[in-house]
Amino acid sequence: MKHHAIFLDRDGTINHDSGYIKDPSEVVLLSGVSEGIKKLKNEYAFKAIVISNQAGVSKGIMTIGDVDSVNDRINHLLKKNGTEIDAFYYCPFHPDFDSPEKSNCRKPSPVMIVQAAEEHEIDISKSYMIGDKASDIECGINAGVKTVLINSEDNRNEISILHNLGKKPNFTAANFKEVCDFIINDFSGGI
């Protein structure tokens, strides 16, 4: 049996994005994230999978170990609230520092979603990509999943970027609670 999933960007979607987070003690979950992931997993049987670009590794700002430690901290905080991320996928490469072959995992490429879908038996047609950047939405569109853009004060230009590309998310939310409400309504056939 195939599962359905929420694919989540990490920095700026799950946790506050202070820029190239490498110290686990800096992780601060955004409001409503723990409750939302818990509800989608427990009540609607979604898998929660992170899809994240982590070019700070390629740029020499952090190590793979730093990324893994931050991911572990995110799951530690989520587990304190009765939920967790099922899997973390990230691309540590950047085309300015690595070959095109290595960098092809970077969003907006759908490579990480496709890999996660294969490894976790995910039904793409019943899954969602949630993020705060145009590249997150493009990644979801490229993979064939529905997309939700968290449109906060910090990222107002992401809509313009998508508009200029002739693309748009299935839904735009002001916060994670709105994301969850949309997904529940859409998944349940209410929209």
- How is residue 18 annotated by DSSP? -
CB 53 within 8 A of CB 17: no
Q: Is 11 a catalytic residue?
A: yes
What Cα–Cα distance (Å) separates residue 53 from each residue in 1, 50, 68, 90? 29, 10, 13, 5
Catalytic residue, chosen from 11, 17, 66, 86, is 11
Tell me the one-letter amino acid at 129. M
Query: How many whole angstroms separate alpha carbon 163 and alpha carbon 153?
Result: 18
Cα(10)–Cα(75) distance, rounded to whole angstroms?
Answer: 12
Active site residue 86: no
- Catalytic annotation, residues: 9, 11
